[in-house]
C-alpha cells in the first residue's frame, strides 16, 4: 500500500521477462526499483508485447519478477559436493576453484575418452546454449547437445518432411474461417505471445473454432466444436479425417493432381481407417468424427494449429503431424491466405553468432551417443543449430554404456528428474556419471547429484543480451538492463560460458572471454554498435527494408527439397530409410501406433488400470517445472493437482481436495483431486514438476519418485516404443486411483 | 462507480490467465496468501461433455449508488468528493463485514487484521494519465478501463 508516496524514489528500468521460457519473444518490462530492491513491474509500451506496437500487456509470470529474484531457493555461491550423490551436502568454494575443476575434468575426459564423452542437457531452445553452448561443443568436438525430443523440433521436422516447410500460424488469423486447435495449449504456453488474442479476435469476426484436446481448456470453452479425445490417440483421428475427406471427395482435386505425390496410394492406405475404426480408439463417436472431418473439408481457409501435445509428446507424434499436414494439403489449405502458411521471409529474430561448425570433427554426427533423429537425416543438415542426441536416450547410455557412456554432463537450467521420463532411472544415470556440473537459478533436485554447482543470476540481474522485434517500421533492438545487482555470487550464464571457454583453452574462439566481443558480433548483422545499444537503454529502431508483401501458393519454392517437388502423400523422403536406432525402416505413410498403455490398445491392462492419465506440460502459472517457489503464482495452484470428473471421483470415494494415490504400471505418485466437469470420466490429467517449495506460503515441494508428485514417474519409458523418427516419448498411460490416506 | 470511470470486462475474451489479479497484488504490494482487490473466478455448468465455462474478473465498481456506503455503520466507507472514488478509512473499519453483505458483487476483501480493503482505481497511475494496471496488462483485451477522457 501507499504506492503514491513511494513513487518519487522509485527508479524504472526496462528489461525483459523470461517467464515463458527464453525462446519465446520475451515481453518487455518496466521494472521498479526502490532503495536497491526490485519491487514491482509494468509492461514496457516500447517493446511490442503481444506482437503489438504500444502494448503494455503481460501475463501472470511477467508480473511476478521480484519473487523470482528474491526466492528462498536461489543458489548463492559456487559449491562442491561433499556428500554422496543425491544427498545434498555441499561446501562453498570460489568461482576460480569451480571453473578450474570443471576445466580440468573436461580436459582429462577429452584426452581419455574423446570429446564426445561430454554432453549438455538442453533445457529448451535457450539462447545461451544455442549460441555459446553449441560453439563450445563444436570447438571441444562433441555432438552431444541433448535435446528433449519433447518440444517443437519433432513437430517441425515432421512438417518439413511432409510439406517442405514449418507452419505454426496463418499469415493473418482474421482471414482464417476455421481454426483447428489440435493439442495446442496456447493459453498456457504463451498467454501474451499473440496467439490467444489473435484467436479471440478471429472468433469475434465469425471464425469457427474446432478444439481437439482432452480437457475443456479456456480457449476450448469458446470453441464451436470440442472433441474431447483420449490422450495419445490423435493419429487415429487424423487418419480417420483423411479417410472421410478422401472417400467423400472433400479435397482439392486440382491441388492434389498438381502438387501431391502418391495420393492414390495414400487413399488406399487410409481406406480402412474409417470413423468407425477410430471411434473405439479415440473415445469419440464415429458421427462426431465424420462431422468434424466435413467441417474441415468444407470450410476454407482452414488453419490447423498442431500442438506440442500431439506432435512432440506422443510416441507416434511424427505420423500424427504427417497425417495432419496431409489433411491441410489435400484440402487446398497450404500457403493460402488464412491457411497453413509458411513464415514470411525475413532476417534474424534472435541474436546469433557463428557456431564454428567448421572446427568440429568431420564425423561429428556419427559420434552422437543417441541420435534424436536418424543419422542420415541429421547428416544432411536438417537441424536448428547442429546435431542432437535425444535427452532421455542419451542419459540411458550412461547406464548401458552402448555405444559409449557420457562421462561429463552439463545439466544447467534443466532438471532431468522432471524434464523427461522415468526419474528413478535418470537418477541412477546421474549417479554413475564421472562428473556433472550444474549452473542454475534454483536449487533444483538434480543439483544434489552435481559435483560442482554454480549460481546463475536471473534475467533481471544481468545485461549481457538483447531482444529483437521485427516490426513494420524496421527492426527494434532492446537491451537487457540490470535491474538489481546479482544475488550474492550469482553470475550470468553468458559470463560463465565465456570464462569456462577461456579456462579450457578455447579463448581465441570466445573473444578471449569478452562479453562486449560477443555482443558486438551479435549486433553486426544490424549495423549497430554496442555503444549505440548502450546509449539507448530503452531500445532503438533500426531502419530495415520493409517486410515484403505476403506471397501465397509458393509451391515450387516450398516443395523444392521434397522428392518430385511435391507434398509427400507417399513419403519418398523418409520411407524405407533407416530409423533413428538403425533397427528398421521408416514408413511411407502415417501409421497409428498409439500409447504404450491405453484402453483400446491394452484392454487386459485396462482391467486393472482403468483410467487414462496425461499431463498438460505447459501451464500459465509455471515455466516447465520451475516457478512454484513464487508466492503469487503458487497461491493460485498450491498443491499438485489432478483434474478429475466428479462422477469418477465419487465412484472412488474421493472428495474434492482429497489426496489421490495415482498408480500406473510404472510407479505411483500423489496429487490433490480437483473436480472438473470438462474432462472425460475415463481420463485424469495433471501437471508435471512440483519440486519447488514456497517458503513464503509454507508450502512444500514434492519428490519425483514413488510417493512424490511427479507425473513423469508414471509413464512408460521403454525406448523401443519411442517414435522412430524423432524419439518422441508417450505422455499417456493407464492408472488406478484411490484416496491417499498418508500425510 | 464515478459516472466517467468504468471497468469493462468481457467474459467472451477472458481466458482465466490471472494476469489482472496478480497485476493488482504486486502493484499494491499485497502480501501473497492474504486478500485480493481483484479476483478472477469461474462459473462452470453442465456435465461432460456439455460443459460451459465462463470466466469473470471483479474488483470494486465504485458504484454511483454504492450500497456499501450506507451499510457501513462506523462510516468508514465514503466517496472521495475530489475524484469520485469510493475509499475505506481503515482506522474506522471495525471489520463487521456488513459491506460484504451489502455488495451485490461480493467485492469487499479483508486483510490479516480483518480490515476491509478496496481498489482505489490505481489513483497514483490515474494521476499520471495512465490506466489502472489490471486493465493495462490484460493480454486478451478482456478487461478495459473507460477513463475520464
> Residue B40 contacts by C-beta under 8 Å, 6 or more apart in sequence?
B14, B16, B17, B18, B20, B21, B55, B56, B57
A369 and A499 co-located in one domain? yes
Domain-embedded: residue B77: no
> Residue B11 contacts by C-beta under 8 Å, 6 or more apart in sequence?
B54, B55, B56, B142
Distances, alpha carbon A400 to alpha carbons A132, A433, A656, in Å: 30, 12, 44
Say how far apart CA A412 and CA A617 lie, in whole Å: 20
Say how far apart CA A632 and CA A306 lie, in whole Å: 31
Region A50-60: what's the mean pLDDT? 95
For residue A728, give the C-alpha cell: 518422441
Handedness of CA A434, A437, A443, A446 (dihedral sign): negative
What's the pLDDT score for residue A23? 55
More confident residue, A661 or A549: A661
Task: Please judge whether A631 and B32 are an interchain contact, meaning their C-beta atoms are less than 8 angstroms apart.
Answer: yes
Assign residue A651 the CATH number of its domain. Answer: 2.40.40.20
Handedness of CA A94, A96, A99, A105 (dihedral sign): negative
Q: Peptide bond before A301: cis, by omega within 30 degrees of 0? A: yes
Query: Does the pLDDT value for residue A228 go beyond 70?
Result: yes
A177 and A306 co-located in one domain? yes
Between A204, A620, A632, which is nearest B25 by CB? A632
What's the pLDDT score for residue A244? 98
Domain total of chain A: 4
Q: Which helix (H) or strand (E) holds A330?
A: helix A317-330
Domain-embedded: residue B75: no
CA distance A313 to chain B (A): 24
A324 and A413 co-located in one domain? no
CA distance B129 to chain A (A): 14
What's the pLDDT score for residue A2? 37
CB atoms within 10 A of CB A201: 15
Residue in A586, A584, A583 with CA at minimum distance from that of residue A573: A586
Query: Does the pLDDT value for residue A334 go beyond 80?
Result: yes
Query: Does the pLDDT value for residue A77 go beyond 70?
Result: yes
Instruction: Tell me the whole-structure pTM to 2 decimals.
Output: 0.96
Burial of A545 (0-12, 13-18, 19+ CB in 10 A): exposed
Query: DSSP code of A135?
Result: H
Domain-embedded: residue A543: no
Q: What are phi and psi of A586, to 5 degrees?
A: -75, 155
Looking at chain A, the whole-number percentage of residues with pLDDT higher than 70 is: 98
Say how far apart CA B106 and CA B72 lie, in whole Å: 15
Looking at chain A, the whole-number percentage of residues with pLDDT higher than 90 is: 91
Domain-embedded: residue A579: no
Domain-embedded: residue A578: no
A185 and A299 co-located in one domain? yes
A65 and A86 co-located in one domain? no
A239 and A337 co-located in one domain? yes
Query: Does the pLDDT value for residue B2 go beyond 60?
Result: no
A189 and A132 co-located in one domain? no
Query: DSSP code of A671?
Result: E
Query: Does the pLDDT value for residue A22 go beyond 70?
Result: no
CB atoms within 10 A of CB B101: 12
What's the pLDDT score for residue A3? 41
Query: Does the pLDDT value for residue B142 go beyond 80?
Result: yes
What's the pLDDT score for residue B109? 97
Interface with B, mutate which of A33, A43, A58, A622 (most B CBs under 10 A): A58
CB atoms within 10 A of CB B129: 8
Assign residue A55 the CATH number of its domain. Answer: 2.20.25
pLDDT digits (tens, 9 = 90+) for A362-399: 999 999 999 999 999 999 999 878 999 999 999 999 99
Question: What pLDDT band is residue A174 in, cutting at 50, 70 and 90?
Answer: very high
Say how far apart CA B7 and CA B126 lie, in whole Å: 13
Please report residues of B whose CB lies closer than 8 A to that of A203. Answer: 12
Domain-embedded: residue B93: no
Region A37-61: what's the mean pLDDT? 95
Min mean pLDDT across A23-37, A202-216, A399-413, A493-507 is at A23-37
CB A350 within 8 A of CB A468: yes
Domain-embedded: residue A595: no
| Mean pLDDT score across all residues of chain A | 95
Q: Which helix (H) or strand (E) holds B134?
A: helix B133-136
Work out whether strand A474-479 and strand A540-542 pair parallel, antiparallel, or are unpaired.
Answer: antiparallel
Region A43-55: what's the mean pLDDT? 94
Residues facing residue B46 across a β-bridge:
B51
Q: Which helix (H) or strand (E) holds A297?
A: helix A286-298
Residues in chain B: 149
Domain-embedded: residue B71: no
Domain total of chain B: 1
Domain-embedded: residue A691: yes
Burial of A59 (0-12, 13-18, 19+ CB in 10 A): buried
A380 and A240 co-located in one domain? no
CB A78 within 8 A of CB A92: yes
CB atoms within 10 A of CB A184: 27
Q: Which helix (H) or strand (E) holds A632?
A: helix A631-634
Please report residues of B whose CB lies closer than 8 A to that of A219. Answer: 15
Nearest CA in chain A to B143: A57
A91 and A194 co-located in one domain? no
Task: Please judge whether A56 and B136 are an interchain contact, meaning their C-beta atoms are less than 8 angstroms apart.
Answer: yes
Query: DSSP code of A54?
Result: T
CA distance B149 to chain A (A): 19
Give the sheet arrangement for strand A28-34, strand by strand: A10-16, A28-34, A37-43
Query: Does the pLDDT value for residue A87 go beyond 90?
Result: yes
Question: What pLDDT band is residue A20 in, cutting at 50, 70 and 90?
Answer: confident
What's the pLDDT score for residue A345? 77
Please report residues of A whose CB lies closer than 8 A to that of B30. Answer: 1
Per the structure, the complete domain to which residue A278 belongs is given by: 167-341+554-568
Region A476-501: what's the mean pLDDT? 96
pLDDT digits (tens, 9 = 90+) for A304-325: 999 999 999 999 999 999 999 9
pLDDT digits (tens, 9 = 90+) for B6-34: 899 999 999 999 999 999 999 999 999 99
Assign residue A507 the CATH number of its domain. Answer: 3.40.50.740
Question: What pLDDT band is residue A471 in, cutting at 50, 70 and 90?
Answer: confident
Region A11-34: what's the mean pLDDT? 87
CB atoms within 10 A of CB A345: 11
Domain-embedded: residue B24: yes
CA atoms lying within 13 Å on the CB side of residue A664 = 26
Assign residue B129 the CATH number of its domain. Answer: 3.30.70.20
What ipTM does the predicted assembly reach?
0.96
Say how far apart CA B138 and CA B125 lie, in whole Å: 16
Between B19, B27, B33, which is nearest A697 by CB? B33
Task: Please judge whether B12 and A200 are an interchain contact, meaning their C-beta atoms are less than 8 angstroms apart.
Answer: yes
What's the pLDDT score for residue A1? 36
Domain-embedded: residue A535: no
What's the pLDDT score for residue A385? 83
What's the pLDDT score for residue A291? 98
pLDDT digits (tens, 9 = 90+) for A186-216: 999 999 999 999 999 999 999 999 999 999 9
Per the structure, the complete domain to which residue B135 belongs is given by: 6-61+106-146
Please report residues of A whose CB lies closer than 8 A to that of B49. Answer: 216, 226, 228, 680
CB A417 within 8 A of CB A445: yes
Cα A294 to the center of its chain, rounded Å: 32
State which of A69, A94, A119 marks the end of a domain: A69
Min mean pLDDT across A150-159, A541-550, A646-655 is at A541-550
Query: Does the pLDDT value for residue A724 go beyond 60?
Result: yes
> Residue A100 contacts by C-beta under 8 Å, 6 or more apart in sequence?
A503
Query: Does the pLDDT value for residue B149 go beyond 70?
Result: no
Which of helix, strand or coil describes residue B123? helix
Please report residues of B whose CB lies closer than 8 A to that of A197. Answer: 139-141
CA atoms lying within 13 Å on the CB side of residue B40 = 24
Domain-embedded: residue B134: yes
Query: Does the pLDDT value for residue A570 go beyond 90?
Result: yes
Residues in chain A: 743
Please report residues of A whose CB lies closer than 8 A to that of B28. Answer: 1, 3
Domain-embedded: residue A548: no
Which of helix, strand or coil describes residue A354? coil
A613 and A730 co-located in one domain? yes
Domain-embedded: residue B41: yes
Assign residue A336 the CATH number of its domain. Answer: 3.40.228.10
Quick one: residue A459, left, alpha or beta (phi over 0 = left, psi -120 to 50 = alpha)?
A: alpha
What's the pLDDT score for residue A543? 84
pLDDT digits (tens, 9 = 90+) for A98-119: 999 999 999 999 999 999 999 9
What's the pLDDT score for residue A491? 97
CB atoms within 10 A of CB B24: 23
A200 and A93 co-located in one domain? no
A65 and A98 co-located in one domain? no
Identify each DSSP E strand in A352-448 by its residue range: 389-390, 408-410, 435-440
| Mean pLDDT score across all residues of chain B | 94
Region A562-568: what's the mean pLDDT? 98
Between A197, A228, A635, which is nearest B32 by CB? A635
Amino acid at each position: 500500500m501507499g504506492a503514491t508516496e513511494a513513487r518519487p524514489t522509485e527508479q524504472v528500468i526496462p528489461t525483459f521477462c523470461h517467464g515463458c521460457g527464453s525462446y519465446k519473444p520475451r515481453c518487455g518490462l518496466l521494472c521498479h526499483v526502490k532503495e536497491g530492491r526490485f519491487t514491482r513491474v509494468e509492461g514496457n509500451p516500447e517493446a511490442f508485447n503481444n506482437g503489438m506496437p504500444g502494448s503494455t500487456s503481460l501475463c501472470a509470470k511477467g508480473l511476478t519478477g521480484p519473487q523470482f529474484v528474491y526466492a528462498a531457493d536461489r543458489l548463492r555461491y559456487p559449491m562442491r559436493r561433499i556428500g554422496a550423490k543425491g544427498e545434498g551436502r555441499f561446501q562453498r568454494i570460489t568461482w576460480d576453484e569451480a571453473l578450474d575443476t570443471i576445466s580440468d575434468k573436461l580436459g582429462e575426459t577429452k584426452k581419455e575418452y574423446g570429446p564426445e564423452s561430454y554432453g549438455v542437457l538442453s533445457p529448451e531452445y535457450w539462447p545461451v546454449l544455442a549460441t555459446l553452448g553449441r560453439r563450445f561443443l563444436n570447438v571441444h568436438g562433441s555432438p552431444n547437445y541433448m535435446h528433449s525430443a519433447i518440444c517443437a523440433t519433432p513437430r517441425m521436422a515432421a512438417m518439413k518432411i511432409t510439406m517442405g516447410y514449418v507452419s505454426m500460424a496463418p499469415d493473418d488469423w482474421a482471414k482464417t474461417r476455421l481454426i483447428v486447435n489440435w493439442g495446442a495449449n496456447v493459453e498456457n504456453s504463451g498467454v501474451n505471445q499473440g496467439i490467444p488474442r489473435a484467436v479471440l479476435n478471429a472468433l469475434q469476426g465469425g471464425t469457427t473454432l474446432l478444439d481437439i484436446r482432452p480437457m475443456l481448456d479456456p480457449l476450448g470453452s469458446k470453441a464451436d466444436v470440442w472433441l474431447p479425445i483420449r490422450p495419445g490417440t490423435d493419429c487415429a483421428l487424423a487418419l480417420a479425417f483423411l479417410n472421410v475427406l478422401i472417400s467423400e471427395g472433400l479435397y482439392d482435386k486440382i491441388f492434389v493432381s498438381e502438387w501431391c505425390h502418391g495420393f492414390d496410394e495414400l487413399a488406399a492406405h487410409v481406406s480402412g481407417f474409417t470413423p468407425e475404426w477410430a471411434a473405439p480408439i479415440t473415445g469419440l463417436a464415429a458421427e462426431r468424427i465424420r462431422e468434424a472431418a466435413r467441417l474441415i473439408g468444407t470450410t476454407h481457409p482452414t488453419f490447423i494449429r498442431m500442438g506440442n501435445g500431439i506432435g512432440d509428446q506422443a510416441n507416434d507424434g511424427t505420423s500424427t503431424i504427417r497425417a495432419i499436414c496431409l489433411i491441410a494439403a489435400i484440402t487446398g489449405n497450404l500457403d493460402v491466405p488464412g491457411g497453413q502458411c509458411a513464415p514470411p521471409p525475413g532476417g534474424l529474430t534472435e541474436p546469433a553468432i557463428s557456431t564454428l561448425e567448421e572446427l568440429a570433427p568431420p564425423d561429428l554426427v556419427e559420434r552422437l551417443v543417441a541420435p534424436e533423429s536418424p543419422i542420415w537425416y541429421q547428416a544432411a543438415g536438417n537441424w536448428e543449430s547442429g546435431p542432437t542426441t535425444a535427452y532421455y536416450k542419451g542419459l540411458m547410455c550412461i547406464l548401458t554404456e552402448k555405444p559409449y557412456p557420457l562421462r561429463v554432463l552439463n545439466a544447467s537450467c534443466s532438471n532431468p528428474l522432471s524434464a523427461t521420463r522415468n526419474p528413478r532411472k535418470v537418477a541412477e544415470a546421474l549417479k554413475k556419471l564421472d562428473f556433472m556440473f550444474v549452473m542454475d537459478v534454483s536449487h533444483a533436485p538434480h543439483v544434489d547429484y552435481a559435483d560442482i554447482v554454480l549460481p546463475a543470476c536471473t534475467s533481471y540481474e544481468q545485461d549481457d543480451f538483447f531482444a529483437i522485434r521485427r516490426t513494420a517500421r524496421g527492426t527494434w533492438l532492446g537491451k537487457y538492463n540490470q535491474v538489481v545487482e546479482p544475488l550474492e555470487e550469482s553470475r550470468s550464464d553468458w559470463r560463465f560460458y565465456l570464462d569456462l571457454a577461456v579456462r579450457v583453452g578455447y579463448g581465441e574462439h570466445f573473444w578471449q572471454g569478452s562479453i562486449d566481443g560477443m555482443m558486438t558480433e551479435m549486433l553486426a548483422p544490424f549495423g549497430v554498435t554496442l555503444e549505440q545499444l548502450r546509449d539507448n537503454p530503452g531500445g532503438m529502431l533500426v531502419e530495415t527494408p520493409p517486410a515484403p508483401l505476403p506471397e501465397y501458393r509458393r509451391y515450387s519454392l516450398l516443395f523444392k527439397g521434397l522428392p518430385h517437388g511435391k507434398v509427400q502423400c507417399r513419403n519418398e523422403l523418409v520411407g524405407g530409410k533407416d530409423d533413428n536406432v538403425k533397427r528398421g525402416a521408416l514408413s511411407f505413410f502415417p501409421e497409428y501406433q498409439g500409447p504404450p498403455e491405453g484402453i483400446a490398445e491394452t484392454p487386459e491392462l485396462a482391467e486393472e488400470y482403468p483410467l487414462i492419465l496425461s499431463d498438460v506440460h505447459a501451464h500459465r502459472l509455471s515455466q516447465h517445472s520451475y516457478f512454484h517457489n513464487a508466492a503469487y503464482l503458487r497461491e493460485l495452484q498450491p498443491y499438485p493437482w489432478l483434474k478429475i470428473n466428479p462422477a469418477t471421483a465419487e465412484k472412488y470415494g474421493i472428495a474434492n481436495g482429497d489426496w489421490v494415490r495415482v498408480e500406473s504400471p510404472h510407479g505411483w505418485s500423489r496429487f490433490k483431486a480437483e473436480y472438473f466437469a470438462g474432462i472425460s470420466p475415463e481420463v485424469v490429467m495433471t501437471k508435471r514438476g512440483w519440486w519447488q517449495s514456497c517458503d513464503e506460503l509454507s508450502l512444500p515441494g514434492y519428490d519425483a519418485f514413488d510417493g512424490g508428485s511427479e507425473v513423469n514417474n508414471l509413464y512408460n519409458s521403454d525406448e523401443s516404443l519411442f517414435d522412430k523418427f524423432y524419439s518422441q516419448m508417450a505422455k499417456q498411460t493407464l492408472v488406478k486411483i484411490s484416496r491417499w490416506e498418508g500425510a | 462507480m464515478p459516472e466517467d470511470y468504468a471497468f469493462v470486462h468481457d467474459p467472451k475474451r477472458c481466458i482465466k490467465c490471472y494476469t489482472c489479479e496478480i497485476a493488482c497484488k504486486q502493484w499494491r504490494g499485497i502480501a501473497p496468501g492474504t486478500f485480493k482487490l481483484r479476483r478472477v473466478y469461474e462459473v462452470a455448468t453442465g456435465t461432460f461433455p456439455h460443459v460451459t465455462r465462463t470466466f469473470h474478473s471483479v474488483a470494486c465498481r465504485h458504484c454511483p449508488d454504492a450500497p456499501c456506503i450506507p451499510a457501513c455503520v462506523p462510516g468508514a466507507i465514503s466517496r472521495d468528493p475530489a475524484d469520485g472514488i469510493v475509499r475505506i478509512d481503515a482506522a474506522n473499519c471495525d471489520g463487521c463485514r456488513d459491506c460484504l453483505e451489502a455488495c451485490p458483487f461480493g467485492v469487499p476483501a479483508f486483510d490479516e487484521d480483518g480490515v476491509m480493503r478496496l481498489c482505489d482505481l490505481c489513483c497514483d497511475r490515474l494521476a499520471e494519465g495512465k490506466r489502472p494496471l489490471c486493465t493495462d496488462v490484460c493480454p486478451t483485451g478482456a478487461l478495459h478501463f473507460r477513463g475520464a477522457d
